[in-house]
Amino acid sequence: MRILIIEDERELAFLLTERMRAAGFVIDRVATATAALDAIRAYDYPIVLLDRRLPDADGISIIPEIRRMRSATRILVVSALRDIDDRVEGLDAGADDYLTKPFDTNELLARVRANLRRPGNAALPPVVVGDLTFDVNTREANIAGRPLLLFKREALMLESLMRRAGRVVTHATLIDELYGFDETAQLNALKTLASRLRRRLESCDAKADVRSVRGVGYLIRAI
């Protein structure tokens, strides 16, 4: 799952990026309101973390434009402006949540998860391919009831494929969903990753296979 962090404090932005990546998210990071709107035009983020004191604007001033472009995107304001009037202003502007600095990153992650579970992000039934089951709400995979443990990038690829089970997922889509725009990825990296995921599924007798569609992308199917 891809998340946008809009934060101009470099140390905090780095900390948030590393913590969120460690939790299994793909992170894009920008430092201005202008760059944030450009990113949101390009990608459909489920949630964005929005600072208020940006170099070119008060972060909450761009919330209406975010809503116009991506009405389903959750907006979590993360700000040092902590007075009750500031929080009320942010929520009245259309934010879904408001967290004041300083904060514990575990609380931030809990709020991200809570926002993604809220009504409007309706719970979806699990996806089943062979003996492999993927819960798109919790992002957990099981094989015949046993948890499937994967490295981060493998888990992201599995999520992308299982959300579109039986359909080809293009190379471009996989790169978008597996790598932030400050990371580089080549088709060879996808090939290696797909091979690793295929071997894991085979070793666990998942009765599911990751198949390459030459020149197009990959799909997951029952075998």
| Whether the model pTM is above 0.95 | no
**pLDDT recorded at residue 120:** 56
Residue pair 3/20 in contact by the 8 Å Cβ criterion: yes
CA dihedral 214, 133, 44, 71 (to 10 degrees): 150
- Fold match between domain 2-117 and domain 127-222: no
Q: Is the dihedral of CA 92, 89, 41, 162 positive or negative?
A: negative
What does CATH list as the number for 2-117? 3.40.50.2300
**pLDDT recorded at residue 124:** 60
**pLDDT recorded at residue 136:** 75
Low-confidence ranges of the chain (pLDDT < 50): 121-122
**pLDDT recorded at residue 62:** 95
End-to-end C-alpha distance for the chain, whole angstroms: 27
Domain ranges of the chain: 2-117, 127-222
Each as own residue / partner, the long-range contacts of residues 77-85 (CB below 8 Å, 24 or more positions apart, any chain) are: 77/50, 77/51, 77/52, 78/7, 78/49, 78/50, 78/51, 78/103, 78/108, 79/51, 79/52, 79/53, 80/52, 80/53, 81/52, 81/53
Characterize the bridge pairing of strands 53-54 and 47-50.
unpaired
Q: Does the domain formed by 127-222 have CATH 1.10.10.10? A: yes
**pLDDT recorded at residue 123:** 54
